[in-house]
Chains A and B, each alone.
Chain A
Amino acid sequence: MLSLFAPPPGRPELANGRSPWRWRSLPAVLAALVALTGCPAVPDTQQSDLVAPVELSSAILLRSPAGKRIDVLTQSGSGIAVTQLPYDGKPDVTQLTPDGKRVLWLDAAKRKLTACDGKATVGYALPSEFAAVRAGDDSGSAVLFHPAGGTAASSIVNSDEVALVDLTAAASKTGNPRVATVSGLTRAPVTARVAPPIAAGDGKHHLVWMEAQGRIGLADFGPTKVRTAVVPLAADLQALMLPIRTVVRVSPGAADLYLLVDALNDVVHVRVDLAGAEMAISLDQIAAGADPADLHLYDAKEGLRVLVANLQAQSLSVLDPATGSGQEIPIGGPVSRFVPVTAADGKARVLAWWHLGGANKLWIVELDDLAKKKGKAIRPIQLDQPVLGLQPVGGQVVLEHKSSQYGASLLDVVTGKITQFSGAGSVKQVRTLGSVGSASVWIVGTSGLQTRLSRIALSDQHGASLNMEVSGDLLLPLGDGVALLGPGLAGWWVAFFPKGELDKTKASWLEGFGLANWAGR
């Protein structure tokens, strides 16, 4: 009989005629079956959304949640270098310091603030679940607070609490961040800010103020102790009053806050004297006009003046905080923002405009002449297209229109002359990049299905354009050049134009860098 399990030559069969190898081969057969049915591992699939880039003064940061890292783009020669920094957070708030050197990421649930300067990240453990952060005007500090409407995910928080982080120092469990409880504030602040450092007799102070409905909370972080106070605003209207704009001026041992408050036609001046053993606080109100929207402090020959834009009254007010007196100048149009402009003639000017878009009129205010010439020191500028953005460069102001007819205009604040630029396509973004003297206007537009990138040199007002068959979205400065970003493979693609030149032959293209070192990480 034919047997598949016959013993090899020379090996006897058992007496019953069955092979002893039959049973010994079973494990091998089973193993073969296991190998045939072995299941592969499920691939590691990760999806993520495009995260908005962070523009630092020296780098562009792109947070990669999937990669648990930050891709740092810097200029290297005439190209781009990509490095990575580890970061495993999902920040609720992103905030840039005013000098553009650091970005702050606040992860409320993890109670962690991370500062990144493009070279390293510094983590600060927070004692409470702060839901908002604001960088200080000096860029060296930041204030954390519990904002009105903020919801703590995992704890109950005291909204009177505020924390100050020294961004120039390492994190410390005892000294950085420092926490204060402003007892009596009782209402969650809308915002909180920290003034530039104030030199007093006992050393450097940081004054934090919290703007809440009807009151201002103050926390003075001195060298050795923290003092707090609450300043009620006008008692009769407290329930309606909410600070909307604040400007701070510091002097040795003191700080002056100038506030505009919703539902109050006054400028509120709060002076905080830190020199004594106790904080000395004084409050006075200076009448402005109907519905003030913005204020600008400037030093006139006669002393400090406050320029106020009165929205409803369509006027500007010039106030003397020392005497509480002032004058109102009608201008015949709404103004919501002031933009300081410094021209080569050295005269102080501000551009007054309706910053919420749609207005095609703005005003050049000659601050030095305002006291004498009054309304004659305010020149109206009429434009063909609504102004959607202003970017002052030296004595010129680039006006952003986002129109298919004119993408941008150039306003000379000394002469009032306007130069319009057309041919940029349907404008998506206008940016003025570079320093005074070598600045240029960059415009991202669309022309058909193409992206049209245009550059206008402000020195000779010469323009050039480049059509690209991709969808470019963002213009960012990088090193001495300009980077255009758009959605691409694994994140953003970057087209980098070194030295601010719109030259295709010198440019470099980077795509897929979100996958850089993906395997080897």
Chain B
Amino acid sequence: MSAQRWILTWTAALASLCLALPAVAADWGLDLGTAGIRTATTAATRLLGGATHGGSAVRLHREMAPDLLIGLEYWHASTNSTWTYGTETDTKTDALTADLRYRYRVSNWLEPFARCGIGAAHSQVEVAGGSATLRSEQWAPLALASVGLELLIPRRVFARGIDRKEGFTMGLTWELGYQHLFQSEWEAKLVGGSPSGIAAAPVSFGEAAISGWLTRVAFAVRL
């Protein structure tokens, strides 16, 4: 089984598990926000043409045990910058992560949490200049660990004065952590081949992993 298939199969299995588990406390949550990394290595900074790589993130979770949530997150990040020789680079990453999150209810409006997850990411780097474009892409496993805070409007606000622990609410969630993509060498090919029809040789951008310190800020909805 190829690495790509292995990653997809594993991610799909986790996603299925996440959604199929019987709801213990029937607590669903949806986070919509932005997430990005600040690169931890010089190689990643050079590859991106900058130190940050960010975009939108959507996360769905469900409580599988008291205060233990299993979730699934989709992250799309992109970075545009100018590389050496005035070339334009466009890097995109799409990642699917299955995670476990443990929350600690400090109050009815504040919930610190810790999260760890694994998944798969597909990254693509395109470098364009003149009339040519080089494209490199790779699938890679992903792992992350983070801690965060959730600031919620107390649920009783939406329960019309009834003091209850469960039910609809919303708020903001903020998270800090580290995300690692197990990426290796970036071998690029000429998009569309050479203009003369001559077989084009690939070019390696070198080894780099788009990994780094993760920040996520999201609007949170809890059911």
List the interface of chain A (C-beta within 8 A of B): 2, 4-9, 11, 19, 21, 25, 28-29, 31-32, 35-36, 38, 40-48, 64, 66-67, 79-80, 466, 468-470, 487-491, 493, 495, 504, 507-521
Instruction: Check if B198 sits within 8 Å of A508, measured CB to CB.
Output: yes
**Minimum distance in angstroms from B161 CB to a CB of chain A:** 8
Residues in A neighbouring B129, C-beta threshold 8 A: 488-490, 512
Roughly how many angstroms separate A17 CA and B176 CA in the complex, as a whole number? 34
Flag the segment in B12-20, B22-30, B62-70, B101-109 that touches A. B101-109
Q: How large is the interface on B (under 10, 10 to 19, 20 to 34, 35 or more residues)?
A: 35 or more
State whether the Cβ of B127 lies closer than 8 Å to any Cβ in chain A: yes
Would B205 and A508 count as touching, CB distance under 8 A? no
Query: Taking CB as reference atom, which chain B residue is nearest A2?
Result: B157
CA A9 to CA B155, docked complex, whole Å: 13
- Write the chain A residue with the least CB distance to B79: A43
In the complex, are the beta carbons of A517 and B151 less than 8 A apart? no
B86–A47 touching, CB < 8 Å = yes
User: What number of residue pairs across chains A and B have CB atoms under 8 A from each other?
Assistant: 194
Query: Do residues B127 and A489 form an inter-chain contact, with CB atoms below 8 A?
Result: yes
Task: Write the nearest CB–CB distance from A367 to chain B, whole angstroms.
Answer: 46
Q: In the complex, what distance in Å separates the CA atom of A508 from the CA atom of B15?
A: 45
Interface string of B82-121 (1 = CB under 8 A from A): 1111110000000000000000011111100000000000
Q: Is the CB of A7 within 8 A of B82?
A: no
B51 touches A40 (CB 8 A): yes
Q: List 28 A-B contacts (CB under 8 A).
A: A4-B153, A8-B108, A21-B110, A31-B174, A32-B149, A32-B172, A35-B215, A40-B36, A44-B45, A468-B195, A470-B195, A489-B130, A490-B83, A490-B129, A493-B132, A495-B198, A504-B197, A504-B198, A508-B198, A508-B200, A511-B194, A512-B132, A515-B127, A516-B205, A519-B46, A520-B206, A521-B46, A521-B206
- The docked-state distance in angstroms from the alpha carbon of A507 to that of B54 is 41
Residues of B within 8 Å of A7, CB to CB, are 107
When the two chains form their complex, are residues B151 and A44 in contact, meaning their CB atoms are under 8 A apart? no
Q: CA separation between A6 and B152, bound complex, in Å?
A: 12
Instruction: Let me know if B196 and A468 touch, CB within 8 A.
Output: yes
Do A79 and B203 touch across chains, with their CB atoms under 8 A apart? Answer: no
Given contacts A490-B87, A490-B127, 10 further A-B contacts (CB under 8 A): A28-B149, A40-B36, A47-B85, A64-B84, A490-B83, A490-B85, A507-B199, A508-B200, A511-B203, A518-B47
The listed residue (A43, A46, A518) touching B50 by CB distance below 8 A is A43
**B46/A512 in contact, CB under 8 A:** no
**Distance (Å) between the CB of A232 and the closest chain B CB?**
52
Report the minimal beta-carbon distance from A88 to chain B, rounded to whole angstroms. 14
Secondary structure call for the A interface:
loop
Nearest Cβ on chain B to A43's Cβ, whole angstroms = 3
The answer to whether A469 and B81 have CB atoms under 8 Å apart is no
Interface contact B196-A495, CB-CB below 8 Å: yes
**Complex alpha-carbon distance, A64 and B85, angstroms:** 9
A469-B195 in contact (CB<8A): yes
| Given A4-B153, A36-B217, A515-B87, CB of A504 within 8 Å of CB of B208 | no
Report the separation of the CA atoms of residues A9 and B20 in the bound assembly, to the nearest whole angstrom: 31
Residues of chain A within 8 A (CB-CB) of B81 are 43, 45
Kindly list chain B residues whose C-beta atoms are within 8 Å of the C-beta of A2: 157, 161
- Closest 10 pairs (CB-CB, A-B): A520-B206, A41-B51, A43-B50, A509-B194, A40-B52, A43-B81, A519-B47, A468-B196, A519-B208, A489-B132
Q: Is B154 an interface residue (CB 8 A)?
A: yes
> Which residues between 163 and 207 of chain B lie within 8 Å of chain A, taking CB atoms?
165, 172, 174, 176, 185-186, 188, 190, 194-201, 203-207
B8 close to chain A: CB less than 8 A = no
Indicate if B7 sits at the interface (CB-CB under 8 A).
no
Contact A40 B50 (CB under 8 A): yes
Q: Are A515 and B83 neighbours in the complex by a CB distance under 8 Å? A: yes
B199 (CB) vs chain A CBs: closest residue: A508
Which residues of chain B come closer than 8 Å to A495, judged between CB atoms?
A: 194, 196, 198
Check B134 for interface membership: any CB of A closer than 8 A. Answer: yes
Task: State the CA gap A80–B200 with chains docked (Å).
Answer: 11
Please give me the residue from chain B that is nearest to A451 by CB atom. Answer: B196
Given the complex of chains A and B, what is the CA–CA distance between A11 and B44 in angstroms? 47
Rounded to whole Å, the gap between the CB of A512 and the closest CB of chain B is 5
Name the residue of chain A whose CB is nearest to the CB of B105. A8
The residue in B44, B48, B204 that gathers the most chain A C-beta atoms within 10 A of its C-beta is B204
Q: How far is the CA of A45 from the CA of B48 in the complex (A)?
A: 11
- B36 contacts across to A, CB distance below 8 A: 40
Which residues of chain A are within 8 angstroms of B215 by Cβ–Cβ distance? 35, 38
Q: Known contacts A5-B109, A7-B107, A21-B106; is A512 also within 8 Å of B188 by CB?
A: yes
Contact A469/B196 with A28-B110, A493-B132 known, Cβ cut-off 8 Å: yes
B residues in contact with A490, CB < 8 Å = 83-85, 87, 127, 129
Q: With both chains docked as a complex, state the minimum distance between the C-beta of A484 and any C-beta of chain B, in angstroms.
A: 9
Q: How far is the CB of A40 from chain B (nearest CB, A)?
A: 4
Known: A4-B153, A512-B127, A515-B127. A43 touches B107 (CB 8 A): no
Docked-complex contact B205 and A519, CB < 8 angstroms: yes
Are B46 and A25 neighbours in the complex by a CB distance under 8 Å? no
CA distance A487 to B165 in the complex (A): 67
When chains A and B are docked, how far (Å) is the Cα of A32 from the Cα of B200? 49
Out of A6, A41, A487, name the residue touching B154 (CB < 8 Å).
A6
In the bound complex, residues from chain A placing their C-beta under 8 Å from that of B43 are 519-520
Residues of chain B lying within 8 A (CB to CB) of residue A43: 48-51, 81-82
CA distance A44 to B48 in the complex (A): 9
Complex contact A44–B149 (CB within 8 A):
no
Q: Are A35 and B198 closer than 8 Å at their CB atoms?
A: no
Q: Which residue of A lies closest to B129 (CB)?
A: A489
B84 engages A515 (CB within 8 Å): yes
Residue in contact with B206 in the complex, picked from A19, A45, A517, CB distance below 8 Å: A517
Q: Is B221 an interface residue, CB under 8 A from the partner?
A: no
Task: Give bound CA distance, A5 to B151, whole Å.
Answer: 11
Chain B residue at smallest Cβ distance from A493 = B132
Cβ of B40 < 8 Å from any Cβ of A? no
